Structure 1
């Protein structure tokens, strides 16, 4: 069995929030207390802490947005955060936390229960709103109640959208990246197939696989789930351009036979690396929360009279399969109807698909930097683009 979190950055910090007398009340019912939150900070807050930007990560991400220095582990958004980047840590104070239900240090299914074993299947259902509630409590704990911006991509964009709709006075800007107000049937279907793969694994044990110290867990099912999901992160065009029908010699690794096609080997590699760093029960809970999210199913909050209406910047990609043009149109139409000041940057240059939001796409990065008033610099101090996290 894997131990979580996987090797982490030296910048990782933890906070324990929601004491028993003031627990987190979950939207689906029930409570959680003593919630442990793993987070990282980059840059320095100004005296009023008005330069703080909160980053909400995607489905399988974590708090490690970028390196803290050249000797640090690579982060998942190196193109976006750091000195001279759009989230310029020479001027901005950036905070990112592993989400509730994750497996990178924040309370989730891998957290110990009363018997000392991981909660596993006993971990409750959570929502995107619950994730935001934990983020807000962390910021209160850190002394940063007012934000320069909330930024998030994919599931992180759903968190940023939920934050905008329920707590619009918390930030001056909300940057929604490669996201939507809800998943389409195509996205729901991909998640459903992935969860079925996990649950059909003979080692799943109804989610209680951690109760047996020698059990291997549903690593095969989780790997297949990752392969399915990865097809929604890349466009058909990018797969064709990168792999086509190219062959590679078949072989055996870790006792398994691997297929002859380059695209097959690529997906198999994605599966192997993913199961080494992620928990199947976390995957089940987080994909279910993403599926249930429907941003406009209930009325949004009203901007407090004392606060100015926040700016909203939406960034979308024409090649994105997970959040298509119709998903983006639904989101922009609803926000426009609410009278939200909205700027939309749509990238038509990248064929990378959904994962383009994590990559070096110059026009998109320039637009984010412009929204935040960050002057981009060339000659970055250490390599970028080392990890992609869907």
Structure 2
């Protein structure tokens, strides 16, 4: 089945076009045609609206009272369905630090149900931990933290049937550089975070093959103008990608601006780090084994009051960076689609281009979400 989308603006892979028509055939994107070349055939008119690629959340723990650490497959699919209302059409379920056997079980569940999700597409698993530093544990449980082990990691990867594609870790732990070198050879993406690393230790991790920083500025010492830290590395190094939570709480607007000015939008991947309280009312929740309370748009640990993941929806993170006058709608969309997909080596998502899955969003000019399409079918309307 073939049809065309007509709209005021299209955020295509390499350029933004005003007006025109986008071909959709059998669930895939076809060609874009300018306004003057109106095609023959069925046209769905979105005059006054903008068309963007579906967003890609590469760091998300849960939503709708469901959590990657505790939910069964039905619960995971509930997250997958719910994410369509957040503008997310592809995601990476993200674990937190836990016992090795627990992580193995989670990997086995995803392997067993690979490709069965009915909402936003699961593109791989992201392990946040357990190779972290206790000092910057944040909402992660220090009792399970350990030095990196290739054997342990390969056991999890095998259990996941190759779905384990990304790991966040602290580069100062013994054996980190050797571990990073080994797993990145296999195509695994390594991000650095929950770490007390100095600038030099972070550089060593990047030079060994790590290519990202985990929720930049959170779970790491602040940037310093003497005694540079891992945060300075996230702002100063070439050819890396910085995850960033843009809810206004985890990182305030001036620092979001400073990071984007330093590295450029093409090196910032907007993420949510959302936990089970996402899309839910204020109250008491859990992040892994740790009790959390949600109030005033923030999730915090009951013990210690640290920020504990977020309740951000990715569509709101995109809107925020535009509303804060930090970047353009075009670049904001790119930071939530193309950049995260590229950073995690994910294929067939994050761009509008011929023969890619027709996963796209209909946006209002104020960057709010109007509709979400998956494989060329409308699946959510605001």
TM-score (norm 1): 0.29
TM-score (normalised: structure 2):
0.30
